[in-house]
């Protein structure tokens, strides 16, 4: 008799929220839930609760990362307490972070923004179907001797 398929229990959903909030990896999540990665990936695909928790966590992570990258791009002045003691040193703007944000979030390139659809397009042209006779002629080619060829 086959083993029953592992599913996500309601208490596992609460544990999953905590794991996602602390930015656990897929492997750490699977281990904490007592399953292998393949089973976890299946559950994440099939269980709407798991997919929603992971999606919300990834969106929050993205907001935090983009915010951090933005702050690095823009820099920040030094901060001082009421007595004039430096609390935080000046953070100089990081042009690389700014360029990365412009390119990834605003389709910027050195020559200006990209107009229109920026997704690549691939076209594959296939030959028309052949009859068995046409295929035979194409495959069975007898080499001809070229003039001046002594071989």
Write the CATH number for 61: 1.10.10
Tell me the torsion sign for CA atoms 84, 85, 87, 92.
Answer: positive
**Count of domains forming the chain:** 1
pLDDT of 107 over the 90 cut:
no
The band of 97, judged by pLDDT with boundaries at 50, 70 and 90, is: very high
Average pLDDT over residues 99-127: 79
Q: Measure the CA–CA gap between 114 and 107, rounded to whole angstroms.
A: 6
| pLDDT value at residue 143 | 74
Structural domain span for residue 38: 10-79+89-113
Say what the pTM is: 0.60
Flag whether 21 is in a domain: yes
């Amino acid at each position: 008799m086959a083993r029953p398929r592992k599913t996500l229990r309601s208490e596992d959903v609460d544990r999953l929220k905590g794991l996602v909030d602390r930015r656990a990896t897929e492997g750490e999540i699977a281990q904490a839930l007592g399953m292998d990665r393949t089973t976890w990936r299946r559950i994440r695909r099939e269980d709407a609760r798991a997919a929603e928790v992971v999606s919300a966590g990834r969106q929050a992570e993205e907001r935090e990362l983009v915010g951090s990258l933005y702050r690095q791009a823009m820099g920040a002045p030094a901060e001082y307490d009421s007595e004039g003691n430096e609390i935080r040193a000046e953070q100089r703007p990081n042009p690389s972070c700014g360029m990365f944000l412009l390119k990834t979030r605003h389709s910027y390139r050195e020559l200006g923004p990209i107009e229109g659809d920026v997704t690549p397009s691939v076209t594959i042209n296939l030959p028309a179907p052949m009859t068995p006779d046409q295929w035979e002629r194409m495959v069975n080619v007898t080499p001809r001797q070229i003039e001046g060829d002594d071989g």
